[in-house]
Amino acid sequence: MTRKSIPFAGATMVAALSAALSLPHPATAAAQPGAASTHEEDRVARTRIDGEGATLEVAFDPDGERLAVRYRISNTGHAPLAVFDRGDRHAVLTGRLKAGEVPAPHFEQADDVSLTLSHVARALPQPTPTVPPVPLATRLAPGASVDGAFEFDLSLAVGLERVRWCLGVAPFDETTFEASESEGEVAVWTASFDVAESQQRLCTPWFDVAAGGFEAD
Model pTM? 0.80
What angle do the packed helices 35-43 and 11-20 form, to 10 degrees?
50
Average pLDDT over residues 170-177: 89
Residue 34: what pLDDT? 38
> How far, rounded to the nearest angstrom, does the alpha carbon of residue 32 sit from its chain's CA centroid?
29
Spatial contact of 74 and 40, defined as CB atoms under 8 Å apart? no
Q: Do 82 and 171 form a contact (C-beta atoms < 8 A)?
A: yes
Question: What whole-number distance in Å separates Cα of residue 172 and Cα of residue 79?
Answer: 8
- Rounded CA separation 177/53 (Å): 19
The pLDDT of residue 88: 93
Per residue in 92-151, pLDDT tens?
A: 988 899 989 999 999 998 788 999 999 999 998 888 878 888 999 999 999 999 999 999
76 pLDDT higher than 90: yes
Pairing state of beta strands 162-171 and 114-119?
parallel
Q: Spell out the domain ranges in the chain.
A: 53-210
Mean pLDDT of 60-79: 96
pLDDT tens-digit series, residues 37-55: 334 556 899 999 999 999 9
Please say if the pLDDT value at position 210 is more than 50. yes
Q: How far is CA 84 from the centre of its chain?
A: 9
